[in-house]
Amino acid sequence: MARRSLWLHPAAKPTLFLLCLLPLGYLIWAAVNNQLGANPAEALIRGLGDWTLRTLCLTLAITPLRQLFNLPALARFRRMLGLFTFFYASLHLLSYAWLDMGLDLAEIGKDIAKRPFILMGFSAWVLLLPLAATSFNRAIKALGAKRWQALHKAVYGVALIAIMHFIWMRAGKQNFGEPAIYGAILAALLGWRIQRFWRGRG
Which pLDDT tens digit goes with each residue over 144-197?
Answer: 888 888 888 888 889 999 989 988 887 666 666 788 888 898 888 888 887 876
- CB 169, CB 161: distance < 8 Å: no
Note the pLDDT tens digit of each residue in 35-82: 998 899 999 999 999 999 999 999 999 988 888 888 888 888 999 999
How far, in Å, CA of 68 to CA of 123, rounded? 32
From the CA atom positions of the chain, what is the Rg in Å?
Answer: 18
| Neighbour count for residue 47 (Cβ, 10 Å) | 21
CA proximity to 20, closest of 67, 98, 65, 79: 79
